[in-house]
Structure formats: C-alpha cells, structure tokens
Amino acid sequence: MLVHRRRLHPLVLGCLAFALPAIAAAAHAQTAPAHPPRPPWRFGTEIAFTDISGNRQLQLFQSTFSAARQTPETFNFDFKLETRYGRSQGVEAARAAAARVRLDWTPRALFSPFLGFDWEYDRVRRIDSRISGGAGANLNIAYRDDSRTTLSIGVLEEYVNTAASATAPGTVTSDTRLHSRFALLRTLRPGVSAEFNVKYQPATRDMSDYLFKADGALRVALSTKLSWRTSYVWNRDSSPVSGVRKDDRTLTTGLLIQW
C-alpha cells in the first residue's frame, strides 16, 4: 500500500505542474486590463504650400480641417473644410473655400447607401456658390483598414450662382447630375499610404456638360499624429463661365496633424 501511494506522488505533482500555469494564465487574462478601443472620432488639420497652374500661376498657402467618425459596422461620417488664399505681385490671385459632408451607411457591406453634400466658392473661377447634394450606393469591392476599393453610383441636384464680369453677366443655374466615383486606398508599408480618386458628374439634360475630378495623394507618417502629405488634383469643368479655363491643376505638399 505504501508503494502504491509513493507511485501516485509523481503523478499528482506532474498534473499540478501542468495545471497551475494554465490556472495562473486564466486568472491573469481576467484581471489584465483590455486594450482601449480605437476612438471613433478623428480630427485633422493640414497647413500646406500649393503650386497652381491653370487659370492662375501662383504660389499660396492652404489650410484644411477635417472631422471623421469611423464605425464601419454601422456608419462612417466625414466632414472636410478647405480654404485657400494667395496674392501675386500685390494683387489678390486666389480666394476659395469648399466644404464637404458625407455619410456612408454600413461601409463594410458589399452594397451600402450614401448621402453627400458639397459647397464651393471660388472667386477666380467666378463661382459665388456651387451647392450640390445627392444620394446613391457604394459597391465596396474591398474594405479593410489597410486596403479599400469602392465604386459609387448616384444622382445629385446642383445649384450654381456665378459672378458677373466686365463683359458677361452673372448666371444662376440648376442641374440634375449623375454621379460616379472610383476610390482606391492602399497601405504600401507601415506608415506609408497612397490613395486615388476619380469622380465624373455629367448633367442629365446635356451629357457634354460635365464635371470631372481626379486626385492622388501619398502620406508618410512622421509620428503617431504628424504626417507629411503630398497630393495632386485635376479639376475640369466642361462648361465654365466666359473667360475661365476648363482645367485647374493643384499640387499640394504640407504637414498633416491628426488627433
């Protein structure tokens, strides 16, 4: 009987040796603090130097403020405000502002609806006010934190008020436009991301009257909150007011602060 008990001692000790670390790990998992969830709201501001060719040849400063709520399981909300001002040889050469609001519902789904609102003012292009709002659907081909590919189709209503010049009066027009957009976002490596967007909006009454925009950007993270961002934007208005060119191209580089 004593011999049998002595044989049990190594068996009991072995079981304890395997069981105690597992119990300790489970207790640590229950008591260890969980990683804090990523805040849904994110804010950013950008101060940049811009080189523009098109209706004006100039250099100027540009500021941007953005606010976004990213909750892909339910909805994404984006707000962006841009202002631009410059002078060339003592003459005001640029005075522009733009605002954008966008709501994407369930963006992780294959198909998701969206709402959008845009406002624009540009003294050089004689746009006193361009207001548009619309709705449509996204085809989310890929939606991950480091990779997104989206195709959007929709309809929008547009109101445009242009300023008068010395040779032409001001105008007030309204149009219904089709909206199509392709968006691509890729993380090239940790801290470096690239994005590309193409937008085409023809008027339903005359398909030769269209707005086109293509832009690309490269962002390099310098720290957790500071990035260096370079972007190129090409805007085309196929039917501008008299004396204004169809194309504007903008190269922007500057610091982006996010928190």
Task: Give the DSSP per-residue string, 22-76.
Answer: HHHHHHHHHHSPPPPPPPSEEEEEEEEEEEEESS--EEEEEEEEEEEEEETTTEE
- Tell me how crowded residue 150 is: count the other CB atoms within 10 A of its CB: 20
- Tell me how crowded residue 169 is: count the other CB atoms within 10 A of its CB: 10
Same domain, residue pair 94 and 213: yes
What CATH number is attached to the domain comprising 120?
A: 2.40.160.40
Given a cut of 80, whether residue 209 has pLDDT beyond it is yes
Range(s) of the domain holding residue 20: 1-34
**pLDDT for res 92:** 79
Distance CA 210, CA 115 (A): 20
Over residues 45-61, the mean pLDDT reads 74
Same domain, residue pair 52 and 14: no
Angle among Cα 140, 146, 151 to the nearest 5 degrees reads: 20
Same domain, residue pair 58 and 85: yes
Same domain, residue pair 166 and 238: yes
pLDDT digits (tens, 9 = 90+) for 219-243: 999 998 999 999 999 999 999 988 8
Same domain, residue pair 58 and 6: no
Same domain, residue pair 98 and 212: yes
pLDDT digits (tens, 9 = 90+) for 25-46: 455 445 444 555 668 899 999 8
Split into its structural domains, the chain has a count of 2
Same domain, residue pair 26 and 48: no
pLDDT digits (tens, 9 = 90+) for 91-125: 777 889 999 999 999 988 999 999 999 999 999 89
Strand 226-237 and strand 247-258: the pairing is: antiparallel
